[in-house]
Chains A and B, each alone.
Chain A
Amino acid sequence: MAVIFDGIAYGLQLGLLAVGLTLIYGLGGVLNLAHGQFAVVTAIAATVLVDVGLPMPLAILAAIALAGMLALAFDASLMRPVYRLRGEARVLLSLLLTIGAAFVIDGLLIYYYPFAALNVDISGSAVNVLGVAMRRGSLAASLLAVLALGTLILFLRYTRRGKAVRSVIQDEEGAQLCGINPARVRTAVFVLSGVLAGVAAVAEGLTSSLGATDGLDLTILALIVTVVGGLGSVAGALVAGLLLGIVYTLSSFYIGAYVTFIILLLAAMLTILVRPSGLMGKGA
């Protein structure tokens, strides 16, 4: 039971990490391979701000805002030539440019902050949840993920702006005919995905720690979750995150930590073999 709870907690974090990536893909058919770097930038910025004397909560908020601004800068620079292309050329250019940007960010962070790592410590005794003792950090990370994902889903489902976002995903030309500007929606969602990556960094900092070298790992995890869930599907990212999170913790508990990543990839491969467009992808 405790293992399942840990799996759910980890799965929520995976979903949180992947949801920004999947939204950007759904909107514009681009993949952002610097997604994990947005999380890492948030983590490093928060530790630096704490070092100069800011209280942790304030430092975290400022760092998340920074991730949003970084995303805005991406959208205004790197993404401009990407959105001028169509179809496969667009995905390819987005992959090339964002992985390049990821390397640059990694290089800078590893050079300047090689030992910085975000570690949000809420010490205290374990909390009893339905008879299972949960670590406080893990519980807080889960609550944070549920809050962020819940807000996102409510926003997309019930607000006019959220519906405008979904309309661009479902039919861009139809959205234009309704007076919706797809370029502006894409910019807003790119910023939102940066902010969500920042929140994911905080969740990561609550359960373990997040340092300058972790960007690529996070991007790969987010990609796996996104593909298993179905590119472009928010609900898919959440379900896939939970599924893979549980697989991950179960295998590390019963088999051993050294093979968990392989089993995770196998689970991902199996899902994609059975449903090539992902659990909740279009045309599945």
Chain B
Amino acid sequence: MLQVEGLHAGYGDSIVVHDVSLRIEAGEAVAIIGSNGAGKTTLLRAICGLLPVVSGHVTYDGNTLERIPPHRIARLGMAYVPAERRLFPAMSVTENLELGAYPKRPDSRLSALVFELFPRLADRRTQHAGTLSGGEQQMLAVGRALMSEPKLLLLDEPTTGLAPMLAEEAYASLKRLRGSGTTVLVAEQQVPLALDLADRGYVIEDGRIQLEGTADDLRDNPDVRQAYLGLSDQGAG
């Protein structure tokens, strides 16, 4: 569904992401894990057109994406939920969801699905997005993305700014979403949560892919355990 080959991307003259290749098949959930500043956000922003691709190729669903502006990539069925959420603060929950369906009329079946997934949003329909709590804003950002009935959902650090309990709650909803067959690519530094959700994962450091494998492989990998799971290899369970 999505194939990235030899991607270089960055800001102006400084290249942040070097020679990254990855692929996602339809129905998969894939995690990109790495510490803060490893290049996860740059990679996702380049994929969805918000940053220029310096070199390399991004192919999605039969389309070459490198030169396509972000709004057209969104209309191809790729929905990106950035860590900053990018909601419309002075518009209601309902209006934010409506705009997620743009240019189409919002589908009541989809909004019902969103409210089922996030019942808290249903109670806050008329409230402005800017007045929601961090957790609710995250729900709304995912909900807005779902309103376009995306084929591929890209999530950048969905746990940003959330307390541990809310972070777990967020991932529980993502798991339910996965159950309905949505293809998901999630960038995350909270590695246990991400690997719990994903089938496969890539480890990115200093803008390069260092490691890839199934979620189980990565969880058992000594380097991953030490660097991201806070465990040494001896005697830890």
Contact = CB atoms under 8 A, between A and B. Distances in A.
Interface string B85-107: 11111110001001110110100
Given A180-B71, A181-B71, A173 B86 contact: yes
Given A160-B98, A164-B99, A178-B148, A173 B87 contact: no
Contacts of A170: 88-91
Interface string B62-98: 0000000111101100011110011111110001001
Contacts of A181: 69, 71-72
A275 interface: no
A179 B75 contact: yes
A284 interface: no
A100 interface: no
Interface string A164-187: 101100110111111111100000
Contact of A163 (B71, B86, B98): B98
Nearest to B81: A177
Interface string A250-284: 00000000000000000000000000000000000
A177 B74 contact: yes
B144 interface: yes
Interface residues of B, number: 29
B50 interface: yes
A179 B103 contact: yes
A21 B185 CA distance: 42
Nearest to B50: A173
B52 to A, nearest CB: 14
A279 to B, nearest CB: 15
A164 B106 CA distance: 13
Contact of A174 (B72, B75, B88): B88
Interface in B175-202: none
Contact of A178 (B50, B74, B90): B74
B102 A164 contact: yes
A164 B96 CA distance: 10
* Majority-rule SS of A interface residues: helix
A178 B87 CA distance: 10
Contacts of A182: 71
Interface in A157-209: 160, 163-164, 166-167, 170-171, 173-182
A177 B154 CA distance: 11
Contacts of A173: 50, 70, 82, 86
Nearest to A183: B69
Contacts of A167: 88, 91, 99
A6 B194 CA distance: 65
B47 to A, nearest CB: 13
Contacts of B82: 173, 177
A1 to B, nearest CB: 36
Interface in B103-154: 103, 105, 144-145, 148
Nearest to A174: B86
Nearest to B49: A176
B140 to A, nearest CB: 11
A166 B95 CA distance: 11
21 contacts: A160-B98, A163-B98, A166-B91, A170-B89, A170-B90, A171-B88, A173-B86, A174-B86, A174-B87, A176-B69, A177-B70, A177-B80, A178-B71, A178-B102, A178-B144, A179-B72, A179-B75, A180-B71, A181-B71, A181-B72, A182-B71
Interface of B: 48, 50, 69-72, 74-75, 79-82, 85-91, 95, 98-100, 102-103, 105, 144-145, 148
* 8 nearest A-B residue pairs (beta carbon): A174-B86, A179-B74, A170-B88, A176-B70, A179-B75, A181-B71, A176-B71, A178-B99
